[in-house]
Amino acid sequence: MSEIRQVENATSSEKQLHTDFTNNMTYGEYLNLDKILSAQNRLSGHHDEMLFIVIHQVSELWMKLILHETQAAIASIEKDELATAQKRLARVSKTQSQIIQAWDVLSTMTPSEYLEFRDSLGQASGFQSYQYRMIEFALGYKTDHVLKIYQKDPELHASLKEAYEAKSLYDAAISALHRAGLHIDDEILNRDVTKSYQDNESVRLAWMEVYRNTDTYWELYELAEKLVDLEDWLHQWRFRHMKTVERVIGFKTGTGGSSGVGYLKKVLDQRFFPELWAIRTEL
């Protein structure tokens, strides 16, 4: 009898559900699902091209969130709202874990299946992902080649140029060290932010002071660990990317003209926050 009552109660509560949306916004309208779900246009008609498109579109959506949170974190650090910045960066790391898992799904596609539609891609390649480059810009790695790729789109080119010329997350963190009374060389505080960040002795010593006096610099210490989390997950994403590409196309040249696996292996050694890794040996 209790089970019958539960069913009756559930049925009764469902009578409160809204079913008339003549003058109200639906879930699908709010999310623009008509646009999102009609954007998977296979050029080859091959079954597995749908997987390839969806994985990359989903990854781009996650990257949009990463940029949204990272830019908000930079703004929070500049206002010395370090706890808020830590919250933003924690969300970035969780988002990165979702992108990493996407490679596991793409890895279900075999080399033979990919070859059935690879030629349809032309010269389009993930190497050209402007959001990925904007993430690199936000983390302090600056290269201008992607600016040339998008010269044909003035609005997008302007957004990329703005990101290229902006201070990075690490620049903001270093400035926070300086405002906390820790010595940072003027050449770092006033550096050309369109250049990739290079490690600096004064920055290393400042982070050492933070890690040796965590009670005094607790928020900076927590911020540093969030930065390490972020870079750690980024390296894991790159590693899974490299292994997935190797699994599917071996050492073939990428569709965009890059060396493929060779290029992806090279960027595995790239550092964004070098001093935060170096001090681990010295502590």
Contacts of 37 (CB under 8 A, 6+ apart): none
Residue 193 is assigned to a ligand binding site: no
The SS3 call for residue 121 is helix
Query: How far apart are alpha carbons 114 and 44 in whole angstroms?
Result: 11
Residue 30 is assigned to a ligand binding site: no
Residue 210 is assigned to a ligand binding site: no
* Segment (H or E) for 92: helix 82-106
The encoded tokens of residue 112 equal 């033979």
Contacts of 95 (CB under 8 A, 6+ apart): 62, 65, 66, 69
The encoded tokens of residue 15 equal 């009578």
Residue 114 is assigned to a ligand binding site: yes
Query: How far apart are alpha carbons 238 and 253 in whole angstroms?
Result: 17
CB count in 10 Å sphere of residue 247: 15
Residue 56 is assigned to a ligand binding site: yes
Residue 164 is assigned to a ligand binding site: no
Residue 84 is assigned to a ligand binding site: no
Q: Which of 271, 184, 203, 185 is nearest to 234 (CA)?
A: 271
- Tell me if 132 sits within 8 A of 162, measured CB to CB: no
- Tell me if 111 sits within 8 A of 248, measured CB to CB: yes
Residue 54 is assigned to a ligand binding site: yes
Residue 36 is assigned to a ligand binding site: no
- Tell me if 148 sits within 8 A of 277, measured CB to CB: no
Residue ranges of the binding site for heme:
241
- Could you list the residues known to form a binding site for substrate, using ranges: 52-56, 114, 118, 255
Binding-site annotation: residue ranges: 52-56, 114, 118, 241, 255
